[in-house]
Amino acid sequence: AIQGVPPFVPLSLEKGVAKVVADKTEATNALSNACSGPDTPPGNPIIPAPTTNPNDISRNNYLDDRSGPVEVLYSLFNAINRKEYVRAYSYWENAGTSSQVPPFDQFQQGYANTESVEITTGKVNSDAGAGQIYYSVPVILKAQTTGGASQTFAGCYRFHLANPGIQAQPPFLPLAIQSANVKQVASSADLTSLLDQACGS
């Protein structure tokens, strides 16, 4: 929440220490002492808290999962619900340099009147070729504004991932949103039909 400007710095390994133990050492005993020492005082609170429910995108949960396109979308709108806009921005490919994504200040301002968002996803489609993997995900978004109004949006998010097996130089580029085509629709619209048609399927 205090990361105010891109790039978002995700949870990462700070350091690691491993020691050889006897083959017959009980795993439980080895683990109980593995993180003891002056650099790892016990009892510190964990912020953000570990994920409790991968389907919960409310502000009370923390999701940062880039393992699949739906997971990225859930993480995106979890970040928006938590007002963590730098993190939300990080789920977009080439954020800040692509015509699909505005500069960060404009991106953040675009959610100034958004109180919360709920998401429903449809069938995920994928395509691969030349070491590149693409996904498209139809979505329905139901937003609550800070003024208490309800809005419904329908559209399609498209994703890109360079095959991890051929990424030979750091930094690793995770699955990211490449583009989105989302439009506001009437709350009374047939949402099932909208999902079926959102990605041109």
pLDDT tens digits, 77-99 = 999 999 999 999 999 999 988 88
Q: How confident is the model at residue 174 (pLDDT cuts 50, 70, 90)?
A: very high
CA distance 34 to 47: 22
CA distance 40 to 79: 29
CA distance 93 to 109: 19
Which position has the higher pLDDT, 162 or 37?
Answer: 162
Predicted confidence (pLDDT) per residue in 12-60, tens digit: 988 888 888 888 788 888 888 787 766 666 666 677 777 779 999 999 9
| pLDDT confidence of residue 41 | 61
Residue 165 vs residues 53, 173, 178: alpha-carbon distances, Å: 29, 12, 20
Instruction: Judge whether residue 124 has pLDDT over 70.
Output: yes
Joined tokens for residue 76: 């995106």
CA distance 142 to 96: 26
With beta carbons less than 8 A apart as the criterion, state whether 150 and 144 touch.
Answer: yes
